[in-house]
Structure 1
Amino acid sequence: MSQKKNVKELLAESFKELLLECAFEKITIKMITDRAGVIRPTFYNHFADKYEVLEWICYTDIFEAARILINTDMLVEAVKLLFTKLEVHKDFYTRAVKIEGQNAFEEIFYQHLVELFEESFKIKGKEIKGHNLLTNHNVSQYYAKGLTFLIQQWLLAGLPVEAKEVTKSYYDLMSHSLEEIIEGNSSFN
């Protein structure tokens, strides 16, 4: 790619800046295109709507690099990267996490995490054997829901702990049963 940013990046950058200035609901396609210096129809050559802009930003900023780590069998590093990227761009993501709707932040993160976890199973060549409730897909959904919830709570609380610490807490949580945590047999007590 040349030194000059491509139009898709300009539109995404424009959206990021606008989200830091005003509520998501108030952002219009015209506002995005005006700030990017392109005409409105150009937006639709790259994105269907502003939710798709949000998804593209999340993917290129976080999940694209995480997928590379997953493909080199580095799941722990991928999760660390996820928390670190959220922390580095906390102003944007603390606003983005408040976006609601069918294609909002929660759904975007959940879907991408399911894909990452399923990819981890594939890389390892593992297939969960057991009853039909515990499949690779269902286990990936389970962990994606939990991690999405933790990320949301962390962002909504204003990132009260550093990415390194929340990553450690996530792995502590995942490595202990609920019974161990309740009984005080974990690092949480």
Structure 2
Amino acid sequence: MQQRGKKGNTDDLLAASFKELLCKAPMEKITIKDITDKAGVIRPTFYNHFADKYALLEYIVRHDLLEPIKPLLLNDMIQEGLTLLFSSMQNERAFYERAVCIDGQNSFESIARSEVSKLLLEIIDQKKQGKSHKYAWLDRQIIAEYYANSMCYVAIAWIKRDYMISPKDLSEVYKYLTKSSMMDVLNELV
């Protein structure tokens, strides 16, 4: 198994430290010193790896949630990818329950949307290979942002509603919403 190297190890140490701290305190109460003390590194080390706590949160979203699902999405295994994504969030339930409470300019929601959008752009670029959409206005950026917004909304609503259904069921709900027209969904209301 290939090691990620010293930078990867330090990134992971800082991420683990931050996750543990966020489970116990709100974001605004956590200092860089708290994160580095818990990780067992000196404060300047943090800034060699991340600009601030929000960059660390971006890393966690990208590394822990999105990198593992990328191969599945590239191989058209959307359901499996979403189930893995939602399972990962549920497995670190305490962290994500606190993370979704981070609001403002650098909210968890905006960070997640941005990171998901970047991932989807990568996938579109790998799959597109010179193809254009029949609707010229519907470019790669709009497609990525649309699905990033919908995925993040569904995931955050699920967390805020106390994980009411399983990750597999949530991926089914997302599939249903994305494959059905608005009128189909409205007409099926009981």
TM-score w.r.t. structure 1 length? 0.88
The equivalent position to 1:10 in structure 2, one of 10, 13, 21, is 13
Q: Which ranges of structure 1 fall in alignment gaps of 5 or more residues?
A: none
Q: Identify if the C-alpha distance between structure 1 residues 148 and 3 changes in structure 2 by more than 3 Å, giving closer, same or farther.
A: closer
Post-superposition offset of 1:138: 0.9
Partners of 1:2 and 1:136 lie apart in 2 by: 31
* Counterpart secondary structure, 2:49: coil
The number of residue pairs the alignment matches comes to: 185
Partners of 1:57 and 1:120 lie apart in 2 by: 20
Partner of 1:116: 119
Post-superposition CA distance 1:69-124 (Å, at most 9, x none) = 22333333222221111111111111111111323311121112223333343343
1:85 and 2:57 matched: no
Amino acid at match of 2:132: E
Q: Which ranges of structure 2 fall in alignment gaps of 5 or more residues?
A: none
Partner of 2:183: 179
The equivalent position to 2:158 in structure 1, one of 154, 162, 167, is 154
1:39 and 2:12 matched: no
TM-score w.r.t. structure 2 length? 0.87
Tell me which moved more, 163-172 or 140-149: 140-149
Partners of 1:163 and 1:155 lie apart in 2 by: 11
Partner of 2:32: 29
Post-superposition offset of 1:3: 10
Partner of 1:138: 142
Paired residues of 1:30 and 1:40 also in contact (CA < 8 A): yes
The equivalent position to 1:103 in structure 2, one of 103, 106, 112, is 106
Identity %: 40
Paired residues of 1:8 and 1:46 also in contact (CA < 8 A): yes
Tell me which moved more, 144-153 or 65-74: 65-74
Partners of 2:125 and 2:4 lie apart in 1 by: 35
Amino acid at match of 2:121: E
